[in-house]
Structure formats: structure tokens, C-alpha cells
Amino acid sequence: MYNDNPTIKGLEKKVDETKQGEVFFKEHSNDDGRKFYIESYGCQMNFSDSEIVASILSKTGYSPTRNIEESDLILINTCSIREKAEDNVRQRLRVFDKIKVKRPGMLVGVLGCMAERLKKKFLEEEKLVDMVVGPDAYRDLPNLISRASDGNKGVNVFLSREETYAEISPLRLGSNGVSAFISIMRGCDNMCSFCVVPFTRGRERSRDAFSVIAEATDLLSKGFKEVTLLGQNVDSYKWENPETKETVNFANLLEMVATVSPELRVRFSTSHPKDITDEVLYTIKKYKNICDYIHLPVQSGNSRVLELMNRTYTREWYKERVEAIYRIIPECAISSDIIAGFCTETEEEHQDTLSMIEFAKYSMSYMFTYSERPGTVAAKKYPDDIPHATKKRRLAEIIEVQSKASLESNQRDLDKSFEVLIEGDSKRSDKDFKGRNSQNKMVIFPKKENYKKGDYVTVHIHEVTSATLIGTIKD
Ligand code: SAH
Ligand code: SF4
Ligand code: F3S
């Protein structure tokens, strides 16, 4: 899930949250106290971080509001992954400026990756911003807020080697009450040449395995039925138990979370093709409640381009991993991230990406044109030489091949039955439910008496589009 566009996707999300998160906001509202409003962009890790921020703020007397006009503190949790993501944030800051002028005393804080990338420059560029807070500095927010209230603008962009916010229990802001994110690690040590994340999120570190289990257990006790374990590269999760000196790897952690309860579904994201092991695949196979779905971003289907990207695997290596997944977990769905028009990419190399989509039979992909990011190896070493129009055309071709692959993937599900976890009403009609199957495909089906949000149901599929499976509940 990437949220680059505040006007379309952001709005959609807010509408969704208003309906589903109502109970949370009522429970946490405090009519006399100060209120904060938070908007999040970027990846799931950022949404998960916003829940940690909300938890920290709620302990200092702030309560969350969805109404920006009544807030005393506006926070925007930002993303730097592509230029467009940053442009959207600047656009939102213009809107906040207007509100701020009408409400003296209101504070505006910029959090997340863009705060980390631009640091102090943010205060110079954006005069009405009061605080700039990087992803590892959220514990300092109460202090920064109190200083900013006294008129001292604050910046804390210190990147930590240890911070994992392990013991902070996130406030589930936009939650549907059924599925939740659990952050299992932070940062990234991979240095893919196009990517800004190692600079904005710092060094990779893994969270205490027992705090992960405690969070999953707590979520289950609150009625949640699905957790997604988050990290930029979950396969390199590694935590040493300080008492026993035993090491917990990702396969071990998956198994620990899976045994919390067979009623709790376990998902994870993102897997790195160079690191995903057969041990992880056999663990997925062993537990029914670990979902048969792997997000395995390829980025490019060509070995020369992959080398320039510093992805540290080849086309052949990636194909072997895909084959291993389908051999060990035949029902598994695989999805991907793809970049069109990376530096020096030729037409033939682009064709390799198209054929990889067909080979891997992705159920879906997130697809982007290459956007040069300041400070990255690619920006320093390689020319951003593919014309914008060519990037766009290649992206359109990638989207077309992927849409066909998605439709074919869904057509293979016709006439099959799946266990679906009900997430709530479908977007189009309150007569229908929506939910996901183990493969992470969205399933729409008519409601039936006695079934409610959070229940598992068996749904028989009789119609598909490239985006959805449509079916009926089988009793
Ligand atoms: N850790 C994950 C991805 C994190 S960023 C992984 O390694 O796969 C999410 C996606 O954004 C990336 O997979 C990549 O496809 C895309 N992306 C990152 N930097 C980009 C850039 N400079 N231009 C275009 N897309 C980019
Ligand atoms: Fe970026 Fe690569 Fe790390 Fe993913 S693995 S966050 S693409 S550097
Ligand atoms: Fe964006 Fe930072 Fe995530 S750059 S994609 S919010 S790690």
C-alpha cells in the first residue's frame, strides 16, 4: 500500500476511517483537552508509525480528531520515496498554512522520511512549520511540542541504531478492528541504488521477538483477527535473546506469531528476493493461519539493470525463488513492485520485465516510473537518461501486462472456495461484505444473517475481474 495522492487515495482512506474508526475516536475523545490531527503518506510502516505517535501523544493529554479545523496540532507523516510523494506533502502544507493563519497557537509538525531527508532545511523552506521530527525521534515529541508552544521551533532527526519503539502499544487510529500492522524491524541496510529509505530510516534493527508476540496476543484479545508483520526486508529479521543467547530469525518469528492462535491470520511485508529462504516457505506451508501470499518486489526483470540497481540478485536467481514458492506452496499468490525506465534501461531490458510478470504470474503489482532521488547512488553515478515520455510508455506497457496477469490469476480462482475474513461492508453496497482470502485477494459477496465483521466464512467464487473475486457464502 503506497499513498502518494492525497486528493484521491488519501480522501478515500479518510472516508473509510470515519466510518470504521468511529468507536476508537469516541473512546479517546477528550472534550476539554488539546487535540491532534494526523495525516499519513507512504508505506505501511509510516501508517504504523503514526499509531505509535498517537500513542505517545495520548499520554501527554492530546486526543485524536478527524476534524482538522478543531485541532491544536497538525502532524503530517511524510514519504520521500518519489518526487511526487514530496510534492504532495508540500501541497498539503499550503492547505495547513491557511488553517494555521486562522488559528493562532496551532502547531504544525512534519514527521517521517521527508523530515529526515530535509532536516533543518524544512524550517527555512516552510515558514509555518514548527517541528521537524525524524522516524526515530518520536519519543521526543512531547518535549518538542512544549518547546514549540513557547515559540522555539524544534528539529530532531537523530537516527538511532537501537530504537524500535518495542514497548509502546500503538493506538490503532484508522483500524477496521479486524486487521492491524505490527512493526518487527526498522531501517534498511540494503542500499538499492535508487532508494532513499536507507537515508531516511537509518540502519536496520530488529525488535524484541517477545514484544512482537505480546502485541499480537493483545490484538487478539481485543478482537483483531489478522496481523501484518512489517519491515523493509523482513527476511533479514534477526534478534538475539539476551538471556539465552538464542537467535530468532524470520522463520522462527513467523512460527511464534502463528502459534499465538489458529484464529489469528499472519501476513508479512516486504520480502527481499535475495534473502527469502526455504525455511520461511516451509513455515508458511506448515501453518494454515500464515497466509499464502508473498510480496516479492522484482524491480526489474533484467540482470544488468538489477546489478545497476544493486539488488544483488539476477533474473535467474529471482526465477528460481518464484519456482521454489510455487513448488513448496502451490496455492501461493505473489505480488511485486516494478520500476519503469531506470537509468540506461534499453527496450530489450524493459521486455525482460514484461516477460518476468508473465513468468511469475503476479496476482498484482505496484508499478512506478523511476524518480531520481537526491543523495542516492543512482543519482550520483548514473544518468537519469530515459525520457519522461518513454518511462510513461514503458509503465503503461507494464500495467497492461500486469492487468492481464491479474485477470488470469483471478480466473484460475473461478469455481473455487476460499476462507475469507470479513473486513466490513463493501465500498459499493452495504448489502455486500468485503474481505480477503489467504492470497490477499479482495472478495465481495452478499451478506447473510448471523455473519459479521471479523468472522471467517467460506465463499464460493463465481465471477472475477482483474481486481476482485465475487462469490457467495457457502454454509
Ligand atoms: N523495501 C521494499 C520496498 C520499499 S520502497 C523492497 O525492497 O522491495 C517501495 C517501492 O518503491 C520499491 O519497491 C520500489 O519499487 C519503489 N521505489 C523506490 N525508490 C524509487 C524511485 N527512486 N523511483 C521509483 N520507484 C521507487
Ligand atoms: Fe529501499 Fe532496497 Fe531497502 Fe527496499 S531493500 S527499502 S528498495 S534500499
Ligand atoms: Fe516512503 Fe519512508 Fe516508507 S520514504 S515508502 S514512507 S520508508
Domain annotation covers residue 191: yes
Give residue 252's pLDDT band: very low, low, confident or very high (50, 70, 90): very high
Q: Please say whether the beta carbons of 269 and 227 come within 8 A.
A: no
Query: What's the mean pLDDT in 269-297?
Result: 98
User: Within 6 Å (CB) of ligand 1, which residues are found?
Assistant: 81-82, 194-195, 197, 232-233, 270, 272, 297, 299, 337, 339, 368, 370-371, 373
Q: What is the pLDDT of residues 158-184, one digit of tens each?
A: 999 999 999 999 999 878 999 999 999
Query: Do 302 and 268 fall into the same domain?
Result: no
The pLDDT, as a whole number, for residue 18 is 31
Q: Which of these three, 364, 395, 412, is where a domain ends?
A: 412
Q: What is the pLDDT of residues 428-467, one digit of tens each?
A: 999 999 999 999 999 999 999 999 999 999 999 999 999 9
Query: Do 30 and 152 fall into the same domain?
Result: yes
Q: Which of these three, 393, 412, 431, is where a domain ends?
A: 412
Q: How many Å apart are CA 112 and CA 80, to the nearest integer?
A: 9
**Cα of 45 from ligand 3 centre, angstroms:** 7
Q: How many Å apart are CA 38 and CA 112, to the nearest integer?
A: 12
Query: Do 286 and 307 fall into the same domain?
Result: no
Query: Do 405 and 450 fall into the same domain?
Result: no
The pLDDT, as a whole number, for residue 16 is 32
Q: What is the mean pLDDT of the chain?
A: 92
CATH, residue 267: 3.30.750.210
DSSP state of 109: E
Q: What is the pLDDT of residues 219-245, one digit of tens each?
A: 999 999 999 999 999 999 999 999 999
The answer to whether residue 349 scores a pLDDT higher than 80 is yes
Domain annotation covers residue 165: no
Query: Do 249 and 306 fall into the same domain?
Result: no
Query: Do 228 and 184 fall into the same domain?
Result: yes
Query: Do 210 and 308 fall into the same domain?
Result: no
Query: Do 184 and 254 fall into the same domain?
Result: yes
Q: Which ligand is nearest to the CA of 83?
A: 1
Domain annotation covers residue 377: yes
Helices (H), 150-242: 197-201, 209-221
Give residue 19's pLDDT band: very low, low, confident or very high (50, 70, 90): very low
The pLDDT, as a whole number, for residue 77 is 98
Query: Do 278 and 330 fall into the same domain?
Result: no
Least trusted range by pLDDT, from 110-114, 173-177, 330-334, 364-368? 173-177
The pLDDT, as a whole number, for residue 25 is 53
Domain annotation covers residue 163: no
Domain annotation covers residue 327: yes
Query: Do 196 and 99 fall into the same domain?
Result: no
Query: Do 396 and 432 fall into the same domain?
Result: no
Give residue 185's pLDDT band: very low, low, confident or very high (50, 70, 90): very high
Query: What's the mean pLDDT in 376-390?
Result: 98
Query: What's the mean pLDDT in 88-113?
Result: 93
Helix (H) or strand (E) holding 469: strand 468-473
Q: How many Å apart are CA 353 and CA 300, to the nearest integer?
A: 5
CATH, residue 137: 3.40.50.12160
The whole-model pTM stands at 0.93
190 lines ligand 2 (CB under 6 A): yes
- Give Cβ neighbours of residue 221 (< 8 Å, ≥ 6 apart): none
**Cα of 337 from ligand 1 centre, angstroms:** 7
The answer to whether residue 2 scores a pLDDT higher than 60 is no
Q: Which of these three, 125, 156, 187, is where a domain ends?
A: 156
The values of phi and psi at residue 17, to 5°, are -65, -40
- Ligand 2 atom closest to the Cα of residue 189 is 3
Query: What's the mean pLDDT in 278-291?
Result: 98
Query: What's the mean pLDDT in 113-131?
Result: 91
The answer to whether residue 31 scores a pLDDT higher than 60 is no
Range of the domain at 199: 1-14+175-291
Task: Give the closest residue to 109 by CA, choosing from 150, 81, 144.
Answer: 144
The answer to whether residue 298 scores a pLDDT higher than 80 is yes
Q: Which residues of 30-43 are buried (b: 16+ CB within 10 A; e: fewer)?
A: eeeebbbbbbbbbb
Q: Please say whether the beta carbons of 181 and 227 come within 8 A.
A: yes
Domain annotation covers residue 368: yes
Domain annotation covers residue 447: yes
Domain annotation covers residue 169: no
Q: What is the pLDDT of residues 51-66, one digit of tens each?
A: 999 999 999 999 999 9
The pLDDT, as a whole number, for residue 175 is 86
CATH, residue 463: 2.40.50.140
CATH, residue 384: 3.30.750.200
The answer to whether residue 383 scores a pLDDT higher than 80 is yes
How many domains in the chain? Answer: 4
The answer to whether residue 26 scores a pLDDT higher than 90 is no
**Cα of 190 from ligand 2 centre, angstroms:** 6
Q: Which ligand is nearest to the CA of 80?
A: 3
Q: Which ligand is nearest to the CA of 81?
A: 3
Among residues of the chain, what percentage have pLDDT more than 90?
A: 88
> What are the grid coordinates assigned to 271, written together?
520480502
**Cα of 240 from ligand 3 centre, angstroms:** 27
Query: Do 41 and 143 fall into the same domain?
Result: yes
